[in-house]
Amino acid sequence: MGRRLPISNGGQSNGDHPYMAPQQLAEFWCRYILPENGVLLDCFSGSGGILASGLDHGASRVIGIEQEERYVEMAWERIRKG
Protein backbone atom coordinates (compact mmCIF):
# COMPACT_ATOMS: atom_id res chain seq x y z
CA MET A 1 0.00 0.00 0.00
CA GLY A 2 1.28 3.48 -0.86
CA ARG A 3 2.01 6.31 1.51
CA ARG A 4 -0.87 8.35 2.80
CA LEU A 5 -0.83 12.08 2.27
CA PRO A 6 -2.31 14.04 5.17
CA ILE A 7 -4.85 16.61 3.99
CA SER A 8 -6.97 19.18 5.75
CA ASN A 9 -10.70 18.85 5.43
CA GLY A 10 -11.27 22.35 6.81
CA GLY A 11 -13.26 23.45 9.81
CA GLN A 12 -10.52 22.47 12.25
CA SER A 13 -9.56 24.73 15.09
CA ASN A 14 -7.20 24.98 18.01
CA GLY A 15 -9.42 27.60 19.62
CA ASP A 16 -7.32 30.38 18.11
CA HIS A 17 -8.00 30.20 14.38
CA PRO A 18 -11.06 28.53 12.79
CA TYR A 19 -9.35 26.82 9.82
CA MET A 20 -6.01 25.80 11.22
CA ALA A 21 -3.98 23.29 9.17
CA PRO A 22 -3.35 20.13 11.18
CA GLN A 23 0.21 20.03 12.53
CA GLN A 24 0.80 16.69 10.79
CA LEU A 25 -0.05 18.29 7.43
CA ALA A 26 2.14 21.35 8.06
CA GLU A 27 5.08 19.11 8.97
CA PHE A 28 4.56 16.89 5.93
CA TRP A 29 4.66 19.77 3.45
CA CYS A 30 7.67 21.38 5.10
CA ARG A 31 9.59 18.11 5.35
CA TYR A 32 9.04 17.02 1.74
CA ILE A 33 8.77 20.24 -0.26
CA LEU A 34 10.79 22.91 1.55
CA PRO A 35 14.47 22.79 0.50
CA GLU A 36 17.09 23.02 3.25
CA ASN A 37 17.70 26.71 4.03
CA GLY A 38 14.80 27.60 1.74
CA VAL A 39 12.45 30.53 2.21
CA LEU A 40 8.86 29.63 3.02
CA LEU A 41 6.04 31.97 1.91
CA ASP A 42 2.59 31.39 3.40
CA CYS A 43 0.20 33.90 1.88
CA PHE A 44 -2.67 32.86 4.17
CA SER A 45 -0.66 32.38 7.35
CA GLY A 46 -3.45 32.52 9.92
CA SER A 47 -2.09 31.62 13.35
CA GLY A 48 1.33 30.57 11.98
CA GLY A 49 1.31 26.77 12.01
CA ILE A 50 2.94 26.39 8.59
CA LEU A 51 5.45 29.14 9.41
CA ALA A 52 6.49 27.47 12.67
CA SER A 53 6.79 24.08 10.93
CA GLY A 54 8.96 25.65 8.24
CA LEU A 55 11.39 26.94 10.84
CA ASP A 56 11.38 23.55 12.58
CA HIS A 57 12.21 21.80 9.29
CA GLY A 58 15.11 23.87 7.99
CA ALA A 59 13.74 27.09 6.49
CA SER A 60 16.24 29.93 6.64
CA ARG A 61 13.36 32.39 6.71
CA VAL A 62 9.59 32.41 6.73
CA ILE A 63 7.26 35.07 5.35
CA GLY A 64 3.62 35.15 6.37
CA ILE A 65 0.81 37.24 4.94
CA GLU A 66 -2.40 37.64 6.94
CA GLN A 67 -5.03 40.37 6.88
CA GLU A 68 -6.40 39.83 10.40
CA GLU A 69 -4.16 41.58 12.94
CA ARG A 70 -5.18 39.23 15.78
CA TYR A 71 -3.92 36.23 13.78
CA VAL A 72 -0.64 38.00 13.00
CA GLU A 73 -0.09 38.38 16.75
CA MET A 74 -0.89 34.67 17.28
CA ALA A 75 1.58 33.71 14.56
CA TRP A 76 4.34 35.84 16.11
CA GLU A 77 3.69 34.25 19.50
CA ARG A 78 3.74 30.73 18.06
CA ILE A 79 7.04 31.41 16.27
CA ARG A 80 8.60 32.96 19.38
CA LYS A 81 7.69 29.90 21.46
CA GLY A 82 9.33 27.65 18.86
Give the count of domains, the chain: 1
Query: Is residue 28 in a domain?
Result: yes
Query: Is residue 3 in a domain?
Result: no
Contacts (Cβ under 8 Å, ≥6 apart) of 72:
45, 64, 66
Contacts (Cβ under 8 Å, ≥6 apart) of 2:
none
Range of the domain at 41: 23-81
Distances (CA, A) of 42 to 3, 4, 5, 81: 25, 23, 20, 19
pTM of the complete model: 0.76
Query: Is residue 77 in a domain?
Result: yes
Q: What is the mean pLDDT of residues 44-69?
A: 93
pLDDT category, 55, cuts 50, 70, 90?
very high
pLDDT category, 82, cuts 50, 70, 90?
confident
SS3 72: helix
Percent of the chain with pLDDT over 90: 51
Query: Is residue 61 in a domain?
Result: yes
Instruction: Judge whether residue 17 has pLDDT over 90.
Output: no
Q: Bigger pLDDT: 2 or 61? A: 61
Query: Is residue 2 in a domain?
Result: no
